[in-house]
Amino acid sequence: MSKKIFITGSTGFIGQKLTHALAGQGHSVTALVRSKGKAQTLVHPNIQTVEGDLFHTDALERGMENCDEVYHLAAFASVWAKDDTFKRVNIDGTTNILDAAKKQGVSKVVVTSTAGVIGPAIDGPVNENTPRQVDFFTDYESTKYESEEQMRQRAANGQHIVIVNPTRVYGPGPLNVSNSVTKLVKQYIDGKWKFMPGDGLSTGNYVYVEDVIRGHMLAMENGKSGERYLLGGEDATYHELFDMIAIVGGKKYKLYKMPLGVMLTFGKVQLFLADNFGRQPMITPGWVRKYLYKWSVSSEKAQKELGYQITPLMSGIQQTVDWLRTDNK
């Protein structure tokens, strides 16, 4: 049955693919875009756009008129901000979306968060109920966590809200800040990536973008209100990840170990320049400290309750490299 759907973050890495997937299923999709120029990637007979941002309440309410479902993917996920942008976008902006959805009588809302809110794996792989055992590393994590707390309160008061928490997403799509793993893959197969973070033994969880798209739709269909669902893939150390990329890419390059102490010092210098001169940092000390931990994740809950499925990492990297070498020239 065709539905009327409103989506934010529709020009981003995940949002763009989700918008097209929903339109391809025959749904009528209204996408929030900041400008008409941004909407050039959203050409489809079932997609219409409304111009505005998370603080244009008129645009939000107009876009959600008679909508059955809302997907809220828009977020501020940068390394650093010179003001309160993280709070404004990730907390206040989400509040505006949920207020508009409630006012317009939207049946279900799925909100995209991050696996980073749960924290690293101290005692084995984390799941949705693992208590966070270390401080937040970034403002992105902390504001997403606070926003989730507010969502759970709203869900307890009757608004249908489901939260999804992707891990490190990779795959074909815009090579932007949200698709940094694919940028790394491209740099490696082009012979331009030279460094191994730390000792290479830090574990990450890598999820193929198409799994995340399906995970969002499954969360809308089968997710329980007030619950969060980890949309993960396979765990891999940096050594394992680069070995897979080398096998698929057909050439293994020598990587130089970058001691965490050196990375931390570099991060501190970058942060100093950012705070004092407004220069966007490449990395911050908080981001570097994440490399000290394992980020092992279990997606068992999503698999059991949603019907979520995981693409093997080697297969996903193969598809990503194929795309980089053909479609992304």
Which value, to the nearest 10 degrees, does the dihedral of the CA atoms of residues 124, 138, 320, 42 take?
130
Q: Which CATH class is domain 4-173+208-232+296-311?
A: alpha beta
3-state secondary structure string across 210-243: HHHHHHHHHHHHHCCCCCEEEECCEEEEHHHHHH
What confidence tens digit (pLDDT) does each residue in 252-279 have?
999 999 888 887 787 788 778 878 887 7
Model pLDDT, residue 200: 93
Q: What is the mean pLDDT of the chain?
A: 93
Q: How far is CA 217 from CA 83, 90, 174, 212, 315, in A?
A: 34, 21, 21, 9, 22
Model pLDDT, residue 329: 53
What confidence tens digit (pLDDT) does each residue in 29-83 have?
999 998 887 788 899 999 999 999 999 999 999 999 999 999 999 998 876 567 7
Give the residue carrying structure tokens 């992105």: 140
Q: What angle do CA 37, 41, 45 make, to 5 degrees?
A: 105
What element of type H or E holds 181? helix 180-189
pTM score of the predicted model: 0.95
Model pLDDT, residue 154: 98
Q: How far is it, in rounded angstroms, from Cα 41 to Cα 47?
A: 11
- Whether the pLDDT of residue 111 is over 90: the answer is yes
What confidence tens digit (pLDDT) does each residue in 152-210 have?
999 999 999 999 999 999 999 988 878 999 999 999 999 999 999 889 999 999 999 99
Torsion region of 52: left, alpha or beta (phi above 0 gives left; psi -120 to 50 gives alpha): left
Query: Which residue, 221, 246, 235, 248, is CA-closest to 302?
Result: 221
Alpha carbons within 13 A on the beta-carbon side of 2:
9
Looking at the DSSP bridge assignments, the partners of residue 237 are 203
Domain ranges of the chain: 4-173+208-232+296-311
Length of the chain equals: 329
Q: How far is it, in rounded angstroms, from Cα 268 to Cα 44?
A: 45
Give the start-end residues of each E strand in 73-115. Answer: 108-112
Where is average pLDDT lowest: 114-123, 265-274, 296-305?
A: 265-274
Give the residue carrying structure tokens 């400008």: 35
Q: What is the mean pLDDT of residues 130-149?
A: 95
Looking at the DSSP bridge assignments, the partners of residue 163 are 111, 228
